[in-house]
Amino acid sequence: MHHLWAIPELVSYIFEYLERQDQASVALVCRVFSTLATSLVWHKVDNFSALANLLPGDSISLDNNEWFTTTRSLSSLDWERFVDRASMVKTLEIQISPEYYAVQQEMAEHALQLGAPLFPNLKRLVLDYYPFPSDLVNILKSLMNPDLLDIEVPRTSFPATYHASERANTHLTRLLTTVPRSLRALSMEPVFQLSLQSVCALVLLFHEAASLRSVHLVLSSGADIASVLLSLSKLEGLERLALVRPRGLNVPDVMPRGFPRLVRLRLFGPMHDMLRLISSITSPDLTCITLSTTARLPSTLMPPFSGLGRFISLQIVRFHFGLQRLQWKDLEPLLVCHRLRTVYVSCREHMELTEDALVAMASSWPDLQDLELIFYRPPQPNGKLIPIQALECLPRKCPSLRHICVPLDVSVSSDPLPVVTPSNASQRLSFLNLRSSEIGHSIAEVATFLTALWPSITRLGFSSDCDTSEETLCQNLQDKMEAILGRLLEAHWFC
């Protein structure tokens, strides 16, 4: 064997690129490979049965329901292989369910006897449990260790019906009390109404877990979580926050200033709650904001982006406004965010845009890479659309553009399309999606114009909002797309 294969760091780096089944095969080659490959195989465990099968075959069996049962008491020797592999696990997705209860209870008892965590190197834990076992706390304690950094409890772990919420709250509270205070990321989706006990446990966790960097909560309506928001705002190290609560975030009327280091923010709820929470953010480093709402925006809160100009580091904005009708003046406050790289706005009603609006966006966002303006209803009769000639300014003002999806007017116009010089072309754009109110007749000219602006185009989409019969529309689209594809292929580009 070549001496390079005796360098553990190099071999381990190569093995990381193998599929899991290939890593298992490599572990059988020799002792050197076995140690390195085995640790990679057990780096992530997404099914508890893999761990249960490490126990001696005569100590466990499957009953008629395919549930694991223990056939005899387990000694320390029976746990040797289990403990050895558990020490290699860094990410564990565990199902605390009836089919594993017998083994998991034995695991909890063995952890108590050892007086140490069974997974000492565990960094990320994904818990999936329901219905709740009676000794859930002991099972959880056997999984926790002081160095655990990330805990995720998905929605499937909680009851879908509210009649079980009292018991669910009790177990949620127990979970929060066992979580190590060195935690860096917490993600939970308790879709039941939180009790006062659960809220207090959350507040206590946020007060004590000073190292928390990421929090993701999907909450039901009904519970007052104002105290949770207040405790979150005081977390000096919090960098990522996601709060999803369709019927209201219950943000206090006077929200104290906080979130000093927040970098990414995702909110789903009524607009007045989201804007009130945004107004309390003091972080100068906020780079990504995602706001989603399904209700119409009150006119007293327009424009919805008025408070975002102070985030000078803002690079990504995603807004899903559902039923709302937006106007260009509502987007204008974003023009002061000169570092924007991604702008995504979707709403049901069409927003009128002009050539001046597109030029203003291009001039204000020189680093823009992705621009999507999605409106699910066609414009009103005689509504304004951006003329396709206006695209000529984009390669020069936004040379980093990779993806564009905007409503354009590609109908027949008396103004001819401009001739593009090579100095105005850009090699970055790969996808262009045109949304038009009409299907023009000069589609070949349009294709020539687009490929001259962006010779790097590899994908071209075309959608129409025109009011014609479905059969005629499909035929027109097919004819025009064939013309575009033929023109692109003539220019030696693939679509």
Q: What's the pLDDT tens digit per position in 438-456?
A: 545 455 666 677 777 777 7
Least trusted range by pLDDT, from 88-97, 105-114, 376-385: 376-385
Q: Is the distance from CB of 74 to CB of 110 less than 8 angstroms? A: yes
**In the block, residue with structure tokens 């979150």:** 232
Q: Is the distance from CB of 388 to CB of 410 less than 8 angstroms? A: yes
Residue of 122 and 409 predicted with greater confidence: 122
Residue 426, pLDDT > 70, answer no
Split at pLDDT 50, 70, 90, the class of 467 is very low
Which pLDDT does position 474 carry in this prediction? 44
Which pLDDT does position 258 carry in this prediction? 86
Q: Is the distance from CB of 376 to CB of 351 less than 8 angstroms? A: no
Split at pLDDT 50, 70, 90, the class of 391 is confident
Which pLDDT does position 214 carry in this prediction? 93
Residue 2, pLDDT > 70, answer no
Residue 141, pLDDT > 60, answer yes
Closest CA to 462 of 151, 293, 360, 446: 446
Total count of residues recorded for the chain: 495
Q: What is the pLDDT of residues 428-442, one digit of tens each?
A: 666 666 655 454 545
DSSP 3-state of 46: coil
Residue 309, pLDDT > 90, answer no
Indicate the residue type of 249. L
Which pLDDT does position 479 carry in this prediction? 55
Q: What is the pLDDT of residues 274-283, one digit of tens each?
A: 888 888 888 8
Residue of 391 and 471 predicted with greater confidence: 391
pLDDT above 90: percentage of residues in the chain: 5
To the nearest 10 degrees (0 to 180), the angle between helices 226-233 and 196-208 is 0
Residue 320, pLDDT > 60, answer yes
Split at pLDDT 50, 70, 90, the class of 378 is low
| Rounded distance between C-alpha atoms, residue 241 and residue 186, angstroms | 10
Contacts of 34 (CB under 8 A, 6+ apart): 27, 28
Q: Where are the beta strands (DSSP E) in 349-402?
A: 370-375, 386-387
Split at pLDDT 50, 70, 90, the class of 240 is very high
- Rounded mean pLDDT of 423-431? 61
116-141 burial string, b = 16+ CB within 10 Å, else e? ebbbeebbbbbbbbbebbeebebbbb
DSSP string, 145-205: -TT--EEEE-GGGS-SSGGGHHHHHHHHHHHHHHS-TT--EEEE---SPPPHHHHHHHHHH
Split at pLDDT 50, 70, 90, the class of 490 is very low
Residue 368, pLDDT > 80, answer yes
| Rounded distance between C-alpha atoms, residue 334 and residue 36, angstroms | 51
- Rounded mean pLDDT of 344-363? 83
What are the helix and strand counts (H, E) for the chain?
A: 16, 18
Indicate the residue type of 432. L
Encoded tokens for 162 = 């509210």
Q: What is the pLDDT of residues 175-231, one digit of tens each?
A: 788 888 888 998 887 766 777 788 888 888 888 888 889 999 887 665 567 778 888
Split at pLDDT 50, 70, 90, the class of 265 is very high
Contacts of 305 (CB under 8 A, 6+ apart): 330, 331, 333, 334
Encoded tokens for 227 = 């105290």
SS (H, E, C) 312-332: CCCCEEEEECCCCCCCHHHHH
Encoded tokens for 293 = 């709402």
Is residue 484 within a helix (H) or strand (E), and if so which, with residue range?
helix 470-490
Split at pLDDT 50, 70, 90, the class of 423 is low
Residue 163, pLDDT > 50, answer no
| Rounded distance between C-alpha atoms, residue 80 and residue 194, angstroms | 41
Residue 118, pLDDT > 90, answer no
- Rounded mean pLDDT of 54-73? 78
Residue 341, pLDDT > 60, answer yes
Which pLDDT does position 459 carry in this prediction? 65
Residue of 430 and 38 predicted with greater confidence: 38
Q: Is the distance from CB of 203 to CB of 225 less than 8 angstroms? A: no
| Rounded distance between C-alpha atoms, residue 183 and residue 206, angstroms | 10
Which 8-state DSSP code applies to residue 315? -
Q: Is the distance from CB of 308 to CB of 301 less than 8 angstroms? A: no
**Average pLDDT in the chain:** 76
Q: In terms of C-beta density within 10 A (0-12 exposed, 13-18 middle, 19 or more buried), how is residue 430 classed?
A: middle
- Rounded mean pLDDT of 385-413? 77
End-to-end Cα separation, the chain, in angstroms = 48
Is residue 109 within a helix (H) or strand (E), and if so which, with residue range?
helix 101-114
Q: What is the pLDDT of residues 269-302, one digit of tens each?
A: 777 778 888 888 888 889 999 988 876 655 555 5
| Rounded distance between C-alpha atoms, residue 464 and residue 440, angstroms | 11
Q: Rg of the chain's alpha carbons, rounded to an integer?
A: 29
DSSP 3-state of 119: coil
Is the bond into 256 cis (omega within 30 degrees of 0)? Answer: no
Q: Is the distance from CB of 241 to CB of 217 less than 8 angstroms? A: no
**In the block, residue with structure tokens 């103004």:** 415
Which pLDDT does position 174 carry in this prediction? 78
Which pLDDT does position 403 carry in this prediction? 84
Residue of 495 and 253 predicted with greater confidence: 253
Residue 346, pLDDT > 50, answer yes
Which pLDDT does position 264 carry in this prediction? 93
Phi, psi of 71 (to 5 degrees): -100, -15
**In the block, residue with structure tokens 């909110």:** 267
3-state helix, strand, coil in the chain (%, to 5): 35, 20, 45
Split at pLDDT 50, 70, 90, the class of 101 is confident
Residue 350, pLDDT > 80, answer no
Residue 413, pLDDT > 60, answer no
Which pLDDT does position 135 carry in this prediction? 66
Q: Is the distance from CB of 427 to CB of 455 less than 8 angstroms? A: yes
